[in-house]
Amino acid sequence: MFAPGGTAAEYPAVPPHLKSRASRLRRSPETVPPVPQENPPMSLEILVIARNEGDRIAETVHALRDAFADARVVVVDGGSEDRTAEEAARAGAEVMRAGTHGGKGGSATLAARRALAEPGADERLFLLCDGDLGASAAELRPLAEAVERGEAGLAVAAFATRRGGGFGIAVGFSRWAIRSLTGLVLRAPISGQRAMRGAVLRRLLPFAPGFGLETAMTIDAARAGIAVREVELDLEHRATGRDLAGFLHRARQLLSFVRVYASRRLGSRR
């Protein structure tokens, strides 16, 4: 260093112990603590299970793409007789035609197995949802976040408001079956809106056929020691009414739930 006027400045000598400390600091960049890095967000794949949802599927897909901009959205068409597949593709989703074999559970099993065959699938986040959510599908983000934060192994959406439905016999049986076999008490035992990591999804396959998908998934997850948590969300879907079609639909659901209960009580997943 130089003093004003170009003459060398005179400073007191630096004590040896300070010299050695300054030298260590200069040549040891590892002494500076590293800046904490946040984990990057997990990649997400959304499997939308749909059949004859041609009037709502496009709105559902648009809502999902807006809420999850980087996610892969796959609509699994379970043998629709309308324009569900065409409308889903037009909205920007990938479409997988699963046929009617195995019903809803069969369609979901085929789609999950295809997704899990890809490299790194076990570390990805998966969201299953129904094709009739419409614009309310945008509310599903907290469900995925609950799994990403480690708050649940299997996160299930509970509808904040009940719309339509029958007398609660089918859903009541599902709730009872889950409580009887696992001790879990759920508000929404047959909700199709569920999030989990790929490794968990793999453990839960194959899904029960037909409408037994959700009831069986919950029972199998709890028995495997996977933490199940409900997340209340402001969702809406196509609710069945108290007409002949609605009662027939719920009767088919109830039959599926009885089969799930009987098989799980006997220790089988079939």
Residue 18 DSSP code: H
Query: How many CB atoms are located within 10 Å of the residue 111 CB?
Result: 24
Q: How confident is the model at residue 245 (pLDDT cuts 50, 70, 90)?
A: confident
Structure confidence at residue 38 (pLDDT): 55
Asked if 217 contacts 184 with a C-beta cutoff of 8 angstroms, the reply is: no
Per DSSP bridges, beta strands 194-197 and 154-159 are: antiparallel
Average pLDDT over residues 56-63: 98
Instruction: Count the Cβ atoms, other than its own, within 10 Å of residue 24.
Output: 10
- What is the DSSP code (8-state) at residue 128? E
What Å distances lie between residue 130 and 26, 90, 180, 215, 236, CA to CA? 60, 18, 27, 15, 11
Is there a contact between 99 and 111 (Cβ–Cβ < 8 Å)? no
Domains (ranges, CATH) in the chain? 44-265 (3.90.550.10)
How many Å separate Cα 237 from the centre of its chain? 18
pLDDT band of residue 164 (cuts 50, 70, 90) is: low
- Within the chain, how many helices (H) and strands (E) appear? 9, 7
pTM reported for the whole predicted model: 0.82
